[in-house]
Amino acid sequence: MQRPPIASTPQFIDAAWMTSTLQASGDLPHGQVTHVQSRPVGNGLVGDSFRFELAYADAPQEAPASVIGKFPAADAASRASGAGLRLYLREVGFYRDIAQTVDISTPRPIYADIDPETHDFTLILEDLGPARAGDQLEGCSVEDAATALREAAALHAPRWGDASLLDIDWLNPNNSEMTGQIAAALPMVVAAFKDRYQGQLEPECLAIVDRLPAAVLAMQGGTDFPITLQHADFRLDNILFDVQGGGRRMGTLDWQTITLGPALTDVSYFLSAGLSPEIRREHERDLVGLYHAELLQRGVRDYPLEAAWRDYQRFAVHGVLMGVFSAMAVERTERGDALFLKMTRGGCLQALDHGTFDMWG
């Protein structure tokens, strides 16, 4: 059965389109979809997500009662960011080419296609509900943080040191203008960020933000870390716990930033954004140790705990970068302001605790 064409918005998804999609994926061996009802879900910043509830005629009992669809952002500025930074291409590429090669729990793709010229794309994914959604503003418990870091190791370990990843053009940052574009834009982004949030961040945090462009420039081209896959936006808003009613411990979403880089970037970023500074300070050594032990259990070698702790400290730059850059790249909302301030503050305090920016000159 031939798959239907890309649906650039959820309005193009009807019963006939969904029938063809599920037949082509093997999820609907007989019967047809008779009704599709959609509603928005999630807190995506550069993509819009919907849950599609499905009704059938003559379908097997195991046909999915619902699926999740993801589309380009309706907001023009957010869509331009998603297209210009190749975020849409990366997420579709992850589900088509990478997801089945790693052990991290993530939705099974049912349909994944993109037009590289227009940046229209459609993702239809397995619904992981019912689940407990992570919330970046609320933060999480130490127990949830431990679960997240075990899952991070399930992403990083299977392709640890895998040089073949460099051959995937859309994945390799050295084959993309994105990194250079971000570095070139950062001085202006930092100035705009400070103008917007002046008086809402502590002076010591604003001083760290001022050092961001130089640190990011110093980090470019680094090779003194093992190559592996990096989610690069590994935080609570992109995570579901106790998915499918507790059938799985966690599911990770939103793979628009998947790239190659140091694994501990995901660990530093998650802990700076997900735990309060006080709780992070108390538990971060133990949590990094737990993550490292999971890497070893999954077969990673020649990466001692001391190296992991060093990388945790020096790649804490990422939390500051994500808070500052993302704030100025997407549609401004009240929740977004609160989110990016919290992320930036957490990243800055983590960097101050560890002397991170001094490590980059």
Q: Which of 320, 312, 317 lies closest to 206, judged by CA?
A: 320
Q: Measuring CA to CA, how many Å separate 323 from each of 4, 178, 336, 351?
A: 38, 17, 10, 13
Q: How far apart are CA 104 and CA 84, in angstroms?
A: 27
Partner residues linked to 69 by β-bridges: 50, 124
10-126: what fold? Phosphorylase Kinase; domain 1 (3.30.200)
Q: How far apart are CA 229 and CA 253, in angstroms?
A: 15
pLDDT digits (tens, 9 = 90+) for 260-310: 999 999 999 999 999 999 999 999 999 999 999 999 999 999 999 999 999
| Domain parsing of the chain, residue ranges | 10-126, 132-360
Residue by residue, DSSP assigns 64-110 as -SEEEEEEE-SSHHHHHHHHHTTHHHHHHHIIIIIGGGS-S--PPEE
Q: How far apart are CA 78 and CA 179, in angstroms?
A: 18
Q: Measuring CA to CA, how many Å separate 304 from each of 54, 163, 294?
A: 49, 21, 12
> ω into residue 4 within 30 of 0, thus cis?
no
pLDDT digits (tens, 9 = 90+) for 45-58: 788 999 999 999 99
What CATH class does 132-360 carry?
alpha beta
Each of the 361 residues of the chain gets a pLDDT tens digit; together they read 678 999 989 999 999 999 999 999 999 999 999 999 999 987 667 889 999 999 999 999 999 999 999 999 988 888 988 888 889 999 999 999 999 999 999 999 999 999 999 999 999 999 999 999 999 999 999 999 999 999 999 999 999 999 999 999 888 766 555 566 777 889 999 999 999 998 999 999 999 999 999 999 998 877 788 889 999 999 999 999 999 999 999 999 999 999 999 999 999 999 999 999 999 999 999 999 999 999 999 999 999 999 999 999 999 999 999 999 999 988 889 999 999 999 999 999 999 999 999 999 7
Q: How far apart are CA 236 and CA 254, in angstroms?
A: 11
6 three-class SS: coil
Residue by residue, DSSP assigns 14-80 as -HHHHHHHHHHHTS-SSSEEEEEEEEEES--SSEEEEEEEEEEES--TTS-SEEEEEEE-SSHHHHH
pLDDT digits (tens, 9 = 90+) for 120-139: 999 999 999 999 999 999 99
